[in-house]
Amino acid sequence: AELGVAQRLLHTLLEWANENQIKSIYLGTTDRFKAAHRFYEKHGFSLIQKAELPSTFQFMDVDTRFYQYQVAR
């Protein structure tokens, strides 16, 4: 089956992260983006609390929901 644009972008990101020895990917989003939440969760991202983010994480004021992805090794 052909992947959609979002899936292809995610696949490219995960390949790059693995090749560059990135251990975790973090992202922030707003509570309103329900379809995005489903996409992230379907593709292995775990919902985490803001306090679990790295101290260097830069978030936008609208970010109220946070995800982490553990890159496979």
Give per-residue pLDDT as tens, 6-16.
899 999 999 99
pLDDT digits (tens, 9 = 90+) for 40-54: 999 999 999 999 999
Which 3 state secondary structure label does DSSP give 25? strand
pLDDT band, very low/low/confident/very high, at 59 (cuts 50, 70, 90): confident
Check residue 63 and give left, alpha or beta (phi > 0: left; psi -120 to 50: alpha). beta
**Residue type for 56, please?**
T
Whether 66 has a pLDDT exceeding 80, the answer reads yes
Question: 0.95 cut: is pTM over it?
Answer: no
What mean pLDDT is predicted for residues 45-72?
94
